[in-house]
Structure 1
Amino acid sequence: MPANPQVSILPQVSILMVARNAGRTIDAALHSARRQTVSAIEIVVVDDGSVDDTPALAQAHAAADPRVRVLPGPRRGLSAVRNASLAAAAAPLALILDSDDLLHPRHVERLLRARQRSGAQVCAANMLAFAVDDGGRALRAVPFAPGDAWRVPQDIGAARFVAANMIGGGGVSLGYLKPLLDLGFLRAHSLAYDERLRIGEDFDLVLRCLMAGARYRFVPEPTYFYRRHAASTSHRLDRADLTGLLLALDQADVAADDDALAHELAARRVNLVGTLRHLDAVAAFKQRAWGRAVAILRGDPVARRLMRGSVREGLARRLGLPASPQPGTRHRLAGAEEIQPFLEAMADALIPSTPLPEPVHAADRLPVSA
């Protein structure tokens, strides 16, 4: 039976959202989830102790749409809250949506189609990364995975997945993509989010899925809209975050004959240790311990590369310039309400594709009983 007795059909997909003090963005995020062309969905919002109007906004959506459920969180960190949402999911598939991001109306539809065609246990769409100022203006949107190599659907193996997740590597970090997960596969292999992790939790879970034999399918259409802003958790690294990532990495159980994956995991460990040393060097500079900072940087090429990036970004901020120029177009928007249609139009134009037939299970549009 559906988790919500007012819903007359079993959901195909559970859209899972963790929310904490997301009052400025959660309304738009939930609207984008409710507008999916696949109606056989549920939207599970786990509120993790918000002290703003996040719970009220989420409950308003639940009152308007019985597919939305709002649950209290365990308040033990992001990964624990994600696990609570996985446990609450009523559908066989779960899709992650952060409370400050948006979805194209056909996001679920395209991922379901990719899963049906490939049989993959993990599917992820390209993202459109966008930035908005406090007034909802000055929006810049660029594809997260740009270039011809990412314009075609493709399988991603474990070694390649790790190689594409190096901090400061300058390439595409596939761990940022928000996956569609086969919950039956996760449960059969006792897989869940590692509750030691505050960042990198999606990367870690997907990697363990791949190591357990899952197939990963990348979908090139950028139907997930990722909001870049200073408060993003992924933009704030500290020693505890990196130590957790190292602990999780060191416990990876690599098959004896998988030399490629073992090589990439070793490279990722070097990358994480170098990132820790970069933080140490930054701290030494702030303390005016110049000799210690120079010694740290001299002994680690990863730390040196990251320090060069930090210096460039610091100078850019002082000069009022974009820290990481990327190909794309800047637009002035009248207000935040115009962001969604702009992103949808840009996503549709980025990768020309054959028009899709009617949405999956389009005849089942009405989610509630009479």
Structure 2
Amino acid sequence: MTAMKLVTISGIEVAVVIPAYNASPYLAQTLQCVVDQTHKALEIIIVDDGSTDETASICRRFAAADPRIKLLSTENRGVAAARNIGIASSTSDYIAFLDADDLWHPTYVERMLSALHPLPEAWGAVYALHRFIDTEGYCTKSGSSVNARDCILARHLVFRFVGNGSGFMVRRAVVDKIGGYDPRYARQGIGGCEDFDFELRTAEHFKIETVPLGLVGYRLHAEAMSADKSRMARSLLAVSEQCIARNPELPAYVVSCARASAHLYAFSKYASLKDWQSAATSLKYIYDHSPTLAASVLVRLILTKARRAARRTLRKAWPVGRKTERNVKKFEEIDPLSPLVGGWSRFRTKALLRRLSEIDRAGGCCAATSSAGLMPGGRALSNIQS
């Protein structure tokens, strides 16, 4: 997308829900990026999810200077429950979600609301793309440039366009229809992909718009939930299988692609942990989808390990000083219109995206459950704070 025309939406209030658990290293920077948004009609709700560090005091400092900020405190129950508390405490017709260690470009809310608000009510959400940032806020690489719009269930199940919990804005009607985030993943010890689950359930009932700009700074660091590779792998597999179970009308081809996509992700995580038993299980699913793809995965793994071993040997034989000079920019220094790159692979091809697009157009947003307020598995959501 090129330059976007921003419609007059300055008076429309948007709720920003920020779950925070022991987030003190990055929280001030995150809150500052919200305070600095060009769209000023914000209802900023921070949910302190049982933190034991300085999270609450940082929030109180910001709240004292900005009456739009409200701090809620609860016992530690996980990010899904925290988001649900924030949703229940908000009143705005639009809700945006931001993790306590990520960043938004100053025009994020304005661009997202300008994309979603003019559309008919059948369009329930909008998402943005992201750039990866490090602990100091420097961009380390581009996120995927691949995106899609309209009815995107099959494509999103396979391509996972959003990629984090900080790039999604919904109408309140979405929560009224599908409920909030599912806290059961955390209770089962596989929290991490609740945002993907929420996006999929939204796509089952609503059309989704895209703002294909790198408006989100997705921070990678050792304390992040995504750093637990085994849990993230199990979480993504569980979310994918839940979606497949909810939508028995999905064509077998989509199901096969979805499982291959999830297990490609899981295989990379298990292999990095040298959990070869779990990696072998994932490789079998990949083989069932495409023996050629499975073979290429194995070859790439072997070559990668060989290259790393060679580099270690060379460093021992000819040690050299590490370069410390940065050739990257801070997230806020990058023009949001600067194109993102990548996202395609031997599996995620343009041909696959075209085929899934045809399936999405043929199927539409045909939810597996027609009753409002159903959570995965058909459980009625009587209290989204649970």
TM-score by length of 1: 0.69
Equivalences for residues 146-157 of structure 1 within 5 A: 146=145, 154-155=149-150, 157=152
Q: Distance in 2 between matches of 1:76 and 1:184?
A: 25
Q: Distance in 2 between matches of 1:183 and 1:71?
A: 20
Q: Which of 109, 117, 123 does residue 126 from structure 2 map onto? A: 123
Q: CA deviation at 1:45?
A: 0.6
Give the aligned partner of residue 233 of structure 1.
225
Q: Distance in 2 between matches of 1:100 and 1:202?
A: 15
Gaps (5+ residues) in structure 2? 1-9, 288-293, 316-324, 341-386
Kindly report structure 1 stretches of 4+ aligned residues shifted beyond 6 Å: 277-283, 292-298
Tell whether the 8 Å contact from 2:237 to 2:266 is kept in structure 1 after alignment.
no
Q: CA deviation at 1:117?
A: 3.2
Task: Identify which range, 155-164 or 296-305, moves more after superposition.
Answer: 296-305
Q: Which of 241, 247, 250 does residue 241 from structure 2 map onto? A: 250
Q: CA deviation at 1:84?
A: 1.6
Give the aligned partner of residue 31 of structure 1.
32
Give the aligned partner of residue 109 of structure 2.
108
Relative to structure 1, the CA distance from residue 206 to residue 312 in structure 2 (aligned partners, 3 Å threshold; closer, same or farther) is farther
Tell whether the 8 Å contact from 1:18 to 1:81 is kept in structure 2 after alignment.
yes
Q: Deviation per CA, 1:111-144: give whole Å up to 9, x if none.
A: 1110023332110112122224xxx38x334432
Give the aligned partner of residue 43 of structure 1.
44
Q: Which of 148, 156, 159 does residue 154 from structure 2 map onto? A: 159
Q: Deviation per CA, 1:221-242: give whole Å up to 9, x if none.
A: 222222222333223222x554
**Is the partner of 2:259 in helix, strand or coil?**
helix
Relative to structure 1, the CA distance from residue 310 to residue 265 in structure 2 (aligned partners, 3 Å threshold; closer, same or farther) is farther
Relative to structure 1, the CA distance from residue 315 to residue 219 in structure 2 (aligned partners, 3 Å threshold; closer, same or farther) is farther
Give the aligned partner of residue 205 of structure 1.
198
Tell whether the 8 Å contact from 1:74 to 1:80 is kept in structure 2 after alignment.
no
**Is the partner of 1:181 in helix, strand or coil?**
strand
Q: CA deviation at 1:74?
A: 3.6
Q: CA deviation at 1:272?
A: 4.2
Letter in 1 for 2:181: A
Relative to structure 1, the CA distance from residue 38 to residue 73 in structure 2 (aligned partners, 3 Å threshold; closer, same or farther) is same
Q: Deviation per CA, 1:197-223: give whole Å up to 9, x if none.
A: 411111111101111x21111102222
Does structure 1 residue 263 correspond to structure 2 residue 282?
no
Identical amino acids, percent of aligned pairs:
24
Does structure 1 residue 218 correspond to structure 2 residue 210?
yes
- The total of aligned residue pairs comes to 304
Tell whether the 8 Å contact from 1:204 to 1:248 is kept in structure 2 after alignment.
yes
Tell whether the 8 Å contact from 1:124 to 1:218 is kept in structure 2 after alignment.
yes
Q: CA deviation at 1:243?
A: 4.1
Q: Deviation per CA, 1:24-80: give whole Å up to 9, x if none.
A: 111111011011121111111111122221111111001100100111134122222
Task: Identify which range, 268-277 or 229-238, moves more after superposition.
Answer: 268-277
Give the aligned partner of residue 86 of structure 1.
87
Does structure 1 residue 331 correspond to structure 2 residue 327?
yes
Equivalences for residues 340-351 of structure 1 within 5 A: 341-343=332-334, 346-350=335-339
**Is the partner of 2:72 in helix, strand or coil?**
strand
Does structure 1 residue 174 correspond to structure 2 residue 162?
yes
Letter in 1 for 2:74: G
Q: Distance in 2 between matches of 1:267 and 1:53?
A: 44
Tell whether the 8 Å contact from 1:281 to 1:294 is kept in structure 2 after alignment.
yes
Q: Distance in 1 between matches of 2:117 and 2:202?
A: 18
Relative to structure 1, the CA distance from residue 245 to residue 331 in structure 2 (aligned partners, 3 Å threshold; closer, same or farther) is closer
Tell whether the 8 Å contact from 2:102 to 2:218 is kept in structure 1 after alignment.
yes
Relative to structure 1, the CA distance from residue 258 to residue 342 in structure 2 (aligned partners, 3 Å threshold; closer, same or farther) is same
Q: CA deviation at 1:99?
A: 0.9
Q: Distance in 1 between matches of 2:234 and 2:55?
A: 31
Give the aligned partner of residue 359 of structure 1.
none
Give the aligned partner of residue 145 of structure 1.
144
Tell whether the 8 Å contact from 2:266 to 2:279 is kept in structure 1 after alignment.
no
Give the aligned partner of residue 356 of structure 1.
none
Letter in 1 for 2:258: R
TM-score by length of 2: 0.66
Letter in 1 for 2:175: L
Gaps (5+ residues) in structure 1? 1-8, 166-172, 321-328, 334-338, 352-370
**Is the partner of 1:347 in helix, strand or coil?**
coil
Tell whether the 8 Å contact from 2:59 to 2:71 is kept in structure 1 after alignment.
yes
Tell whether the 8 Å contact from 1:127 to 1:222 is kept in structure 2 after alignment.
yes
